[in-house]
Amino acid sequence: MSTPIFYIVELDFPEGHAEESFPGFYSWYASVHSPHLYEGGFTVCTSYKRTEGAMQMVDIYQANGWDIFTSGPFARYLEVAARDPWRPDYIGKTPNTRTPYHHVAWRGQDMEEMARPLEADWVAVWRFDADANLIAEVAKWMAASGETLFRDAGATDIRLLVKTRESPTGSSIRPGGAICIGCPRKPDSGLGLSAKFPDLLKAAIGDTPGFVGWRTFPWPDDAALRASLPGLGQ
């Protein structure tokens, strides 16, 4: 059985031009890029704009297994993407990083539960240096109190992740472990929630930048959020 992947792609807009670049990026992503990705075999395509951390956009993709990258539909997607006339010209030229992850259980969840489709108007991501021993310790903390901490902060989706091999479409600068939570509202305390993490996890995070952002694609579920977001209120 294939192990599902949770694939985080991050990018920055051209320096000094983030706000003016966003509407064009969003229009391209929603109208052109995401349809191509679904045709290429991804089962979930989402995009989030930063309110805290780096980089400015985080796109999250899910697929049933690593073999998506060797499939015929993905090969066709690469050909289409290479000649996409609508793609913003800075894509691939500004800072970006691509990190595929696998899910890690902390209370005996099966893979179907852990790898369910992400559905959240907000996400927060913490990355940390991790080996197998630390991942095991973080899993124990999640079972004992971490899951409750995240749910109290508003999380409805919680994932413990471990980095797998490098993506065939680009490398990653991120360390080996990550926690990603999804929320219907901005998570309480944002990245500051890490002040309540155990010392071993805080040390592993160090100064590695995290991310908090709101969903730009698909459209947010919350009408009040949609109305408050530049370019998405109409």
Residue ranges per structural domain of the chain: 5-228
The pLDDT assigned to 104 comes to 98
The pLDDT assigned to 234 comes to 38
CATH for 5-228 is: 3.30.70
CB-based burial of residue 146 (10 Å sphere; 0-12 exposed, 13-18 middle, 19+ buried)? buried
Of all residues in the chain, the percent with pLDDT exceeding 70 is 97
Neighbours of 78 (CB within 10 A): 13
Model confidence pTM above 0.85: yes
The Cα–Cα gap between 70 and 226 comes to 37
pLDDT grade for 155, boundaries at 50, 70 and 90: very high
Q: Which residues pair with 215 in a beta bridge?
A: 48
